[in-house]
Structures are given as C-alpha cells and as structure tokens.
Amino acid sequence: MIQKIRQSGIYSAFLLLLFGCKNSAEDLAPFTNKEDWLAEKAKNVVVNYSDSGIVRVEVRAPLMIRKWDQSDYKTTLPKGVTAYFFDADGKQSSTLSGNYATLDSKSGIMNVKGDVQVINSKGDTLLTENLVLDESQDRLTTNGPVTVRGTTQIIMADGLESNRDFTKYTFTKVRGTLSVKGNL
C-alpha cells in the first residue's frame, strides 16, 4: 500500500513538472539571449572619478549599459549623459552634456553624440553634434561643425580641439564670426 502511494506521488510530481509550467518565447528571451548575459544595466547612475582623493569628474546618466567585449568593458549611455569636471582644488571647471555616449574603458575615450554642449567656467558654450573626450590626453576634439558662444562673440567653425576644461581651444576651419554686445 505504501509502495502504491509513493508511485502515485512520483507520477503526480512528474506530470506536474512536465505540464505545470509553460512559458512563451517572450518570457524566456531575457534568459536565452547570450548578449544580455554579458551586460550590466543600471538606472540613474552617478560615477565619480578621483585623483589623489579629489573628485575630478562626476558622470550622471539615466541609464548605463556595460558589456564585456573580448577583453574589455564597453559602456553605453543611451539616454544621455552629463559630466561635471573639477579642477585640482575641487572647483567645477566645465560641464559636458549630450544625448548619447559610449566609453571605451581601455582607451579612456568617450564619444558623445546628439546636442552636445560644453560650458566652461567663464560661461563660453560649445555646441556640436559629436565630440570625443580623450581622458589620457585631457582633450576634447571634433571634426564636425561647431558653434562657440562667448560673452562678446559667436564663432562658427568646422573642427575644434580643446583642453578638457574648454578654456583653451583652437578651430580647424573658421566659417564665420559674429560680434555681440551684451549678454547672449
């Protein structure tokens, strides 16, 4: 009698496991996509980079995705980024923002795209669609069209190279300059 109860219990458990759970392909997609296995996702991210105990850069993003790619992480900020840069005294020296960014942690290069804006401590504003930040050389570069709005002039050019704080910059090809009276 006990033997028959055990057999019935085993058969019931087997049938329950066999027919009890059903998942659609959509339900299983997050577990079967190998790309997602290698990705880390975080929302409302704040990352501080410091040197000798002093915060030099604070990066804020609504979404960050890091994927392992062969031998390094590739970080994507698909919903925008704002980076605050600080000088050696901890004072904010510039701000960079854009709609999308990628960061290669091995090379230290961040590529920012879409409505890119950099504002320095003097209030000068750089506007462009694509900007490369090379952390190893502390410089900003772009080959595309740029507009720089200062307190007394607006400069339109193709291409720009600048220090990271956007206080010293040169243009590749100036297309035009407008003098401005008063605040912009």
Q: What percent of the chain has pLDDT over 70?
A: 76
Q: What percent of the chain has pLDDT over 90?
A: 51
Cα distance between residue 150 and residue 125, in whole Å: 7
Judged against a pLDDT cut of 60, whether residue 4 lies above it is answered with no
Cα distance between residue 134 and residue 24, in whole Å: 45
Residue with tokens 């605050």: 84
Judged against a pLDDT cut of 90, whether residue 95 lies above it is answered with yes
pLDDT at site 78: 96
Q: Which domains does the chain have, with CATH numbers?
A: 35-179 (2.60.450.10)
Judged against a pLDDT cut of 60, whether residue 183 lies above it is answered with no
| Contact status, residue 96 vs residue 116, Cβ threshold 8 Å | yes
Judged against a pLDDT cut of 70, whether residue 96 lies above it is answered with yes
25 compared with 45, residue with greater pLDDT: 45
Tell me, rounded to whole angstroms, the distance of Cα 143 from its chain centroid: 20
Judged against a pLDDT cut of 70, whether residue 5 lies above it is answered with no
Both tokens of residue 1?
């009698």
pLDDT at site 62: 97
157 compared with 35, residue with greater pLDDT: 157
Q: What is the pTM of this model?
A: 0.76
Cα distance between residue 139 and residue 63, in whole Å: 25
Both tokens of residue 158?
């193709």
Query: How distant, in Å, are the alpha carbons of 12, 27, 61, 81 from that of 39?
Result: 39, 18, 17, 19
Give the residue-averaged pLDDT of 174-178. Answer: 91
Other CB atoms closer than 10 Å to residue 123's CB: what's the count? 11
**3-class DSSP assignment, residue 150:** coil
Helix, strand, coil share (%) of the chain residues, nearest 5: 15, 60, 25
pLDDT at site 116: 97
Of the given ranges (25-39, 58-72, 111-125), which has the lowest mean pLDDT?
A: 25-39
For residue 153, the cross-strand partners are 179
